Structure 1
């Protein structure tokens, strides 16, 4: 099957980490991370027909992701939850119990975004941190597959009976994971199921997919690919560009830099790649047709948006699909308003559905 006949997963984003604005860099109390606001974004995405929704995780920002996922799992009807977990702050057997329990509450629709984080105050070198993440992914998969664990690793030594509580499916959920450094790419090739990438030029996306496909094959594995981006869609391209410009119309440069610096990953390989992408853009912020880098002026991490009319946005997504992208994680500012616009103008025209096991 090819991209034209295989559904892709289309996900939205709930702003658990104080990342929602009408004007980038200008905090609005009504958009601040809270149970009510983030719950409403998830419920709206469920109603609008999105397949999944990313629940991000920050150490010092926003509200706790695991607790939020457990609560909102009791409310949604059909959408999957993509729960982000920070490995540096987790003990894998406990995390496996949390994942399995939330999956049971949700009725078998939980997926997991692995973040290869340090514990704040800890500074493991990159290679060690990613080796720890590979171990954690292995431990999670064994336990969530309902198997006994006998693990003698560099970071954990564990001998455990099969868990009493497991996933509804009886199998470990898909593990989504991203990172561009050599150590991160190796960790992804060895342990994850869906390799996530941030926005980049189309040629760079092709190169990353080719590289990761080869790396996974060297371990006897295959990967699926996800693309995380913001989106600004309006009835005309002029209106979409005007909406993007409006997002930055009240941005103070120093305030934007402070917001970015608060993130623990603000100096990572991937974040620096987003900075380089923005620096390569034209004066109006576009680095190629319909890819605008202005978001990165006030956000660490994913720093670019697909901007255009419905035909242009759909065509851009279709080109990514043709390259091998299986899943999109989209967002916009404010998140609720942009979810509605994307669901109205683009989502009904896409062949989409949850990623198959």
Structure 2
């Protein structure tokens, strides 16, 4: 068990992939992915005291993540960036050079940790589809290549997807080490990839029993490779001064959504057929038909209008804090939170909950 007295990393989310709404499923030009809008979310999160912020990536959605990270690096001073990179679109040696360059642009935290962290996505090459097992094998190879080169080591690699014999790039990270690699996926192949290659395993919302089982399985898998993992939890949040106000705010998010629009949104997602998305659908089906709650303060209604992360912690500040601490007690080391609209909900969480939880960048 992980005692809740230990700090956890608290991150927010910037909507680079057109995922920001006042009413779920209703497009709002003010909240579309743009440099200005996503910049303002990052700056709101930094001023609010968050430790890190996820910059998501989707080929068909929104703006480019690596270019955005380079631009926002000059405007931030403290917050870390969790930059998502799509392995299907990358040549690992070039990606290593980009990561090292961004690392130097961002600098280190006050505690000497890299401000750049990397979210590895096991994506396809746009226009092509690779079966799950080889796609995750390619991701394992990419993580090995990145870690070797960014650790400043000569790479001699004979893999299924890359055969490389080369020195590390001339530009190095400030620490001389690879930044932390965050990675998620629920299928057996994804879990094995995480066990072999990442530093922080990310999971989407699940019941408390589900979280416990996933952590136990990943710890066992990592141990077989002589490794240990840290664990992150990606979830939405709706916090208000009272539970009644929070539930009303959650209901308002869905007040203009019809079932057909919700189904269309879920179907067009790049990961709409994944094991993780299937688990989010199972949670919705298991939830109360009357209000969408699958357990105390875990509301699955958001999943009616989006693929992927499909549940929210909903409640007053005490309830939200208690839920986060319950996850921490199960072994969660980091949270990636979001809410709608993202800048406004970041401010609410920063005022009502963040000062009451021990948090710091994940070492």
Question: Could you state the TM-score of these two structures normalised by the residue count of structure 1?
Answer: 0.98
Confirm or deny: 8 A CA contact 1:147 1:163 kept in the other structure: no
- In structure 2, how many angstroms separate the alpha carbons of the residues matched to 1:263 and 1:112? 22
Correspondence for 1:136: 142
CA apart distance, 1:262 = 2.2
- In structure 1, how many angstroms separate the alpha carbons of the residues matched to 2:267 and 2:59? 13
Correspondence for 1:217: 223
Correspondence for 2:349: 342
Which structure 1 residue ranges, 5 or more long, are not aligned?
A: none
1:172 to 168, 178, 186: 178
Runs (4 or more) in structure 1 with deviation over 4 Å come to: none
- 2:333 aligns to what SS in structure 1? strand
Q: Deviations over 1:40-80 (max 9, x none)?
A: 00011011100000000001000000000010011001000
Correspondence for 1:244: 250
The answer to whether the aligner puts 1:301 opposite 2:302 as a matched pair is no
CA RMSD in angstroms comes to: 0.9
Correspondence for 1:197: 203
Confirm or deny: 8 A CA contact 2:11 2:335 kept in the other structure: yes
- In structure 1, how many angstroms separate the alpha carbons of the residues matched to 2:263 and 2:32? 19
Q: Which moved more, 1:118-127 or 1:274-283?
A: 118-127
Q: Which moved more, 1:257-266 or 1:223-232?
A: 257-266
The answer to whether the aligner puts 1:321 opposite 2:333 as a matched pair is no
Correspondence for 1:232: 238
CA apart distance, 1:186 = 0.4
- In structure 2, how many angstroms separate the alpha carbons of the residues matched to 1:330 and 1:49? 13
CA apart distance, 1:120 = 2.4
Correspondence for 2:59: 59
Question: Could you state the TM-score of these two structures normalised by the residue count of structure 2?
Answer: 0.97
- 1:351 aligns to what SS in structure 2? coil
Aligned residues: 356
Correspondence for 1:154: 160
Correspondence for 2:98: 98
- In structure 1, how many angstroms separate the alpha carbons of the residues matched to 2:215 and 2:2? 16
Q: Which moved more, 1:138-147 or 1:254-263?
A: 254-263
Q: Deviations over 1:181-206 (max 9, x none)?
A: 00000000000000000000000100
- 2:4 aligns to what SS in structure 1? coil
Correspondence for 1:258: 264
Confirm or deny: 8 A CA contact 2:93 2:169 kept in the other structure: no
- 2:265 aligns to what SS in structure 1? helix
Correspondence for 1:74: 74
- 1:325 aligns to what SS in structure 2? coil
CA apart distance, 1:2 = 4.5
Which structure 2 residue ranges, 5 or more long, are not aligned?
A: 109-114
